[in-house]
Amino acid sequence: MRPAHVYARIPAEQHTELITALHGQWRTATRVVIVVLSAAGWPASEIADLLHYDPATVRRWIARHQQEGLAGLPDRPRSGRPRKGGRRLGERIHRLLLTPKAWTAARLWRALGRPQLSLSTLRRRIREQARWCRPRLIAKSDPDRDQICADIRARITALPTGSVVLAEDETHLDLLPRIRACWIPAGIRHRILTPGTNVRRTLHGAINLATGAFHHHVSVKNVSVVFCYFLERLLDAYPHAPVVAVICDNGSTHHSGITKRWLAEHPRLQVIEGARYSPQDNPVERIWAALKRKIANTA
């Protein structure tokens, strides 16, 4: 036969844990219980003794329910404590980062005057003003670039009808993979096999500025003989063009003695050297950039 009454038996530690939960994560439900007990005729003092609240707190939640209903029982938005470092910390970080330098959280902390906050907190404030990335390398450019570009335009304009204009450049590819920063799952680190002996290949490329046709040649070394061989392939690709003009940079193979003698024997091909330190003028450079992004971090 079942007993008439069943009572819970809990130790003092568990009772404290339950009361703490009623005042913490389940405090909204506790406020609902306060309203229900008050509606059942319980005085505020007894409800306070039962739930370990102050009677003034019980009366406040009962009054809140009377004014706003259930919507008034959850916590209202709070401003929270002031941010560490003050409001001007972000502005100071931004001003420091405007100066190019190998900034790290520790260096910024020292430059800010060693403020009273942890490096992890400082990193969160830094992320609001900046992102972790590599600086962009730029060429110093030729002081006579504008005049050289104007001369190139004049030479191209003076070419006979039917001539072909190409932009040419070289790059190097290594068997050793190009390693760049990337996102990797937490807890592991991708491993890229390195060769016992590195192997390098030179890649010559030229793009037709009118049609977009791309020509390339892979060689073991970047020497004048290989450059002349590539120019000869360009001539063969356009047998009916009166002139094949090749715009390139100021590499040593482009104006060496071997190249000059070859050009003297092949007047149908003209090599036009562009401005120094101006890779942004050559569209082939962007093709190399896309190629190296494709093969980065691969075996």
Question: What Rg do the C-alpha atoms of the chain give, in angstroms?
Answer: 38
Average pLDDT over residues 254-271: 96
Model confidence at 1, pLDDT cuts 50, 70, 90, reads: low
Q: Nearest 5 degrees, angle CA 193-CA 286-CA 280?
A: 125
pLDDT of residue 36: 92
pLDDT > 90: what percent of the chain?
56
Task: Indicate the pTM of the whole model.
Answer: 0.60
Q: How many CB atoms lie within 10 A of CB 231?
A: 24
**What is the pLDDT, as a whole number, of residue 3?**
61
pLDDT of residue 141: 79
Q: How far is residue 245's CA from residue 158's CA, in Å, rounded to a whole number?
A: 11
β-strand pairing of 244-248 with 200-208: unpaired
Q: What is the pLDDT of residues 75-133, one digit of tens each?
A: 888 777 777 777 789 899 999 998 888 899 999 999 999 998 899 999 999 988 888 87
Pairwise CA distance, residues 47 & 260, whole Å: 102
**Tell me, what's the pLDDT at 183?**
76
